[in-house]
Amino acid sequence: METDKCSQCRLCQQYCMVARAGGESITTILSGDSETGAWNCSNCWKCVEICPEDIDVYEVMMEKRRQEPAPVRYKRAFDSVCRIGYVYPVDEVNTFREMWGLEPIRLVDPKVVRKLLGRPWAGDEE
Amino acid sequence: MNEIEKRLLFPGCLVLACFQDYELAAKAVMRRLGMELVDMDDFSCCSSSVVPSMSDDWINLDAYNLGLAESRRMDIVTLCGSCTRTLKQANKKLKGDAALLEKVNERLAEAGAHYNGTVRVNHLIEVLDEKRSLIEKMERKSLDYRVALSHPCNVIRPSSVAQFDDPWRPQKMRKVLEAAGVQVVDYELEYECCGATLLMVNEKLALDAAAAKMRSAIEAGADALVVSCGNCYMLLDRFRHKIQEAHPEISLPIMFLPQVLGQVLDVSCRELGLELV
């Protein structure tokens, strides 16, 4: 396992803004100080950058997340990607673009995104 | 006459949905520097940190986007941190692993797409850095304000993926602005993460991190904070009212990098998204 390389030096924890604020994160999971916290991440990548054992802390965190129920905002964001192809709402995008003087843009067909993620909906093949 | 250099602009859905001013300004400044940023029809979610949290198929989304650029024979320019990192990360994996590329292409084929591994991805800061000597030679206006910088974490880390700038004390954004004659001030928390992604799970921690960073920049004498990522802007600007609920004294304008650079290069306020049409 990737985490077998961990020498418990806790450098990642020293650089983690969540751990420094007293919270649980992937860095406290790695040190055995907590079992939870895989979703509490600022996405700063300092843990990956500093790790002397070159552990892919991000991938370890993602594997852990995939085994857990997602917090509501992550779940909503992922559902949005499956529904419309993007995290943020895009239905009024071309109206806004026109207001700013930008050319209209063609959005992705969400069926394509669902196919890429292997999550087809009933009716996608029609 | 030389044909103008063209690259495909991957706006990302946050900029697409919320920050048209950033896209507008980036296009206007690059046009002034001899590069056209072309709209990327049909682009999809970059996968961000959202998709890999739920699905190990995330790389297919990036491969699809890289394939779109390849089919249009253009390299990609990005505006946000996460889009940059995830596209580069996928690109590195796909270019270095023929078996993975083949497997991903099987899925892409179902969606009518393909990727051979020939596209380059660069964030706007990198592209501007390539144009630094040109910026130095151009006629420039001086600005009557000083800026502090907020560096997009995912553009510089992990350095094995970013392959750009110092991962701990990034200097390229500063060098670009200083080449344009902009006064950049140092501040204690310059190299700290703004905390924007924490909005998803712990709003208070994100707001506290943002407040600390902004206070540090104000104390160092900055008149504005420059960002080059939609996520940083989302927290530092759009959550301003919430930051000020707890820290009413904190007030600092947030600007996108090309908006500042464009003012120096005398691009109109309308083209920089500093006023509506």
Q: Strand, coil or helix: what is B36?
A: strand
**Is B273 within a domain?**
no
- For residues B239 and B146, membership in a common domain is answered with yes
C-alpha Rg value of chain B to the nearest Å: 19
- For residues B101 and B27, membership in a common domain is answered with yes
- For residues B151 and B118, membership in a common domain is answered with no
pLDDT at A2: 85
**Is A125 within a domain?**
no
**Is B276 within a domain?**
no
- For residues A87 and A101, membership in a common domain is answered with yes
Given a cut of 70, is residue B1 above it in pLDDT?
Answer: no
**Is A38 within a domain?**
yes
Q: Considering only CA atoms, which of A60, A61, A52, A71 is closest in space to residue A14? A: A52
Q: Is the peptide bond before B158 cis (omega within 30 degrees of 0)?
A: yes
Q: Which of B11, B55, B195 sits opposite A42 (nearest CB)?
A: B195
- For residues A88 and A43, membership in a common domain is answered with no
Residue A10 bridge partners (DSSP): none
Q: Which residue has the higher pLDDT, B277 or B236?
A: B236
- For residues B40 and B105, membership in a common domain is answered with yes
Two tokens, residue B272: 């920089």
Residue B35, min C-alpha distance to chain A (Å) = 17
- For residues A31 and A78, membership in a common domain is answered with no
**Is A121 within a domain?**
no
A contact residues 24-63, partner B, Cβ 8 Å cutoff: 39-46, 48-49, 58, 62
**Is A124 within a domain?**
no
**Is B208 within a domain?**
yes
Is B202–A107 a contact, with Cβ atoms under 8 angstroms apart?
A: no
Last residue of a domain, one of B99, B124, B149: B124
Two tokens, residue B110: 């179902």
- For residues B146 and B183, membership in a common domain is answered with yes
Left if phi > 0, otherwise alpha if psi is -120 to 50, otherwise beta: which for B262?
alpha
pLDDT at A126: 67
Cβ atoms of B250 and B123 within 8 Å: the answer is: no
Domain that holds residue A34: 2-66
Spatial distance between the Cα atoms of B35 and B7, rounded to a whole number of angstroms = 7
Mean pLDDT of B51-60: 97
What's the structural domain count of chain B?
Answer: 2
Nearest 5°: phi and psi at B145? Answer: -135, 155
Last residue of a domain, one of B95, B124, B153: B124
Last residue of a domain, one of B105, B124, B143: B124
**Is B118 within a domain?**
yes
C-alpha Rg value of chain A to the nearest Å: 19
**How many residues are there in chain A?**
126
Q: Dump pLDDT digits (tens) for A76-97.
A: 999 999 999 999 999 999 999 9
Whole-angstrom distance between the N-terminal and C-terminal Cα of chain A?
43
- Residue B41 binned pLDDT confidence (cut-offs 50, 70, 90): very high
Given a cut of 70, is residue B238 above it in pLDDT?
Answer: yes
**CB contacts < 8 Å between A and B, how many?**
171
- For residues B110 and B161, membership in a common domain is answered with no
Q: Considering only CA atoms, which of A73, A78, A120 is closest in space to residue B55? A: A78
Q: Dump pLDDT digits (tens) for B160-205.
A: 999 999 999 999 999 999 999 999 999 999 999 999 999 999 999 9
Mean pLDDT of B233-248: 96
Spatial distance between the Cα atoms of B271 and B265, rounded to a whole number of angstroms = 12
- For residues A22 and A52, membership in a common domain is answered with yes
How high does pLDDT run on average in chain B?
97
Give every residue of chain A whose pLDDT is below 50, as ranges.
none
- For residues B103 and B209, membership in a common domain is answered with no
Cβ atoms of A116 and B111 within 8 Å: the answer is: yes
**Is A126 within a domain?**
no
pLDDT at B277: 55
- For residues B108 and B152, membership in a common domain is answered with no
- For residues A6 and A46, membership in a common domain is answered with yes
Cβ atoms of A85 and A113 within 8 Å: the answer is: yes
- For residues B159 and B194, membership in a common domain is answered with yes
- For residues B204 and B242, membership in a common domain is answered with yes
Is B53–A48 a contact, with Cβ atoms under 8 angstroms apart?
A: no
Q: Considering only CA atoms, which of B111, B108, B110 is closest in space to residue B90? A: B108
- For residues A6 and A60, membership in a common domain is answered with yes
What single letter denotes the amino acid at residue A72?
V
pLDDT at B3: 77
- Domain with residue B95: its CATH number is 1.20.1050.140
pLDDT at B275: 83
- Residue B269 binned pLDDT confidence (cut-offs 50, 70, 90): very high
**Is B277 within a domain?**
no
Cβ atoms of B245 and B274 within 8 Å: the answer is: no
- Residue B239 binned pLDDT confidence (cut-offs 50, 70, 90): very high
Q: Dump pLDDT digits (tens) for B217-231.
A: 999 999 999 999 999
Q: Dump pLDDT digits (tens) for B93-142.
A: 999 999 999 999 999 999 999 999 999 999 999 999 999 999 999 999 99
What's the structural domain count of chain A?
Answer: 2
**Is B104 within a domain?**
yes
Domain that holds residue B78: 5-124
Q: Which of B37, B105, B201 to mutate to test the interface with A (most CBs of A within 10 A)?
A: B201
**Is B9 within a domain?**
yes
Residue B35 bridge partners (DSSP): B5
In chain B, % of residues over pLDDT 70 = 99
ipTM: 0.97
Q: For chain A, say whether B273 makes contact (Cβ under 8 Å).
A: yes
- Domain with residue B236: its CATH number is 3.40.50.11810
B226 sits in which H/E element:
strand B224-227
User: What count of other Cβ atoms lies within 10 Å of the Cβ of residue A120?
Assistant: 13
**Is A25 within a domain?**
yes
B-chain residues within 8 Å CB-CB of A20? none
